[in-house]
Amino acid sequence: MESQFTWMNGRLVPTAQATVPFLTNALHYGTAVFEGIRSYNTERGPAIFRLRDHIQRLVNSARVLGIKQLPFELDVLIDAAKETVRANHFTDCYVRPLIYLSSGGFNLNVDFASVGVGIAVWEWHQYMGPEALAKGIRANISSFTRHHVNVMMTKAKISGNYANSFLARTESMRLGFDEAIMLDPLGNVAECTGENLFLVRGGKIYTPNVNTVLEGITRDSLVTIAHDLGYEVIEMPLSRDQLYIADEVFVCGTAAEVIGLREIDFRTIGSGESGPITRHLQQVFHQVVRGQEPRYAEWLDAVNAPLMSQPASAVPAE
Ligand SMILES: Cc1ncc(COP(=O)(O)O)c(C=O)c1O
């Protein structure tokens, strides 16, 4: 089903009318920040997973980019996301808020541009398909390095950052792999083009700390779930060859959810399919996002629940 409505700067408009002029700053310079969020069908109707955390990260990303004043309060954006899902009568869908520099600012100064906000939704089920979910995927170490923390800001989902992801994933897929693993400028494992990464060795779970990578919300959810299931999770720098000799490697993100890696750089990982701990976390995560694990009920924001916000007003991003 096509999306009928998109939220643009304070109101729902027909999606075909949710357009921006050619001289939109963000289109020329990647000066936008965005989120990738998912709504799932649950017994209580559609519910958005960790919506407040995503919108908070969106506002944080705007702050990192240097935007001083946002046109909408956090609660307004939360409600707008729900309103957009509801208006489109979607259950399982992807929610894409974007804060962008609109007109002005062609002197490369954020302070001289005006700020726009939109929220699009589209119906969506799986990013990598059922086979990837069951069997795992193949990845390579990218020839492109992930951002240095003082070149691009890795805590922010700034649109321009994603040129790096496009370089890496396009290369990977042209080489016949499914995903690229990126190393940071020191040569440690950072993350994939749109996922955080974990490995399992001797029953323990390891993941790079968040110093150089995006503070993934799925990563955070899995660390919590893994602890609750009794697994030890260790955050530390990881080298490329630690991936090769791991028992299991898996990646996670809003789009990919939890996906095992069965091969990296032509080396079979573990038994060559999604390993038992990967499958355990995958299975529990799928229950959590569908509201089947009462312990994590607060992570789900029912789309049909009453709205939270007051009428829109300006809010500082810092
Ligand atoms: C570069 C990068 N790393 C990690 C992630 C995973 O983050 P999350 O779990 O919040 O979707 C994403 C997706 O947003 C991403 O773009």
Report the atom number in ligand 1 closest to the C-alpha of 255: 11
Residue 211 C-alpha to ligand 1 middle, in angstroms? Answer: 14
**Kind and range of the H or E run holding 254:** none
**Tens digit of pLDDT for each residue in 7-32?**
999 999 999 999 999 999 999 999 99
Question: In the predicted model, what is the mean pLDDT of residues 167-188?
Answer: 98
Token output for 287: 């229950």
Report the alpha-carbon distance of residue 233 to residue 223 in Å, rounded.
7
H helix runs in 23-176, sequence order:
25-29, 51-65, 74-87, 129-135, 162-174
Q: What structural domains does the chain harbor?
A: 5-124+299-316 (3.30.470.10), 129-294 (3.20.10.10)
SS3 37: strand
Left if phi > 0, otherwise alpha if psi is -120 to 50, otherwise beta: which for 153? beta
| Residue 53 pLDDT > 90 | yes
User: How many residues in the chain?
Assistant: 318
Cβ partners under 8 Å of residue 35, min gap 6: 54, 55, 57, 58, 61, 95, 96, 97, 157
**Tens digit of pLDDT for each residue in 74-130?**
999 999 999 999 999 999 999 999 999 999 999 999 999 999 999 999 999 877 777
Give 275's Cβ-side CA count (13 Å radius).
Answer: 23
Asked whether the CA dihedral 282, 288, 291, 295 is positive or negative, the reply is: positive
Residue 196 C-alpha to ligand 1 middle, in angstroms? Answer: 6
Q: Which of 195, 222, 224, 289 to mutate to test the pocket of ligand 1 (most atoms within 8 A of CB)?
A: 195
Q: Whose CA is nearest to atom 1 of ligand 1?
A: 194
Residue 194 C-alpha to ligand 1 middle, in angstroms? Answer: 5
pLDDT > 70: percent of the chain: 97
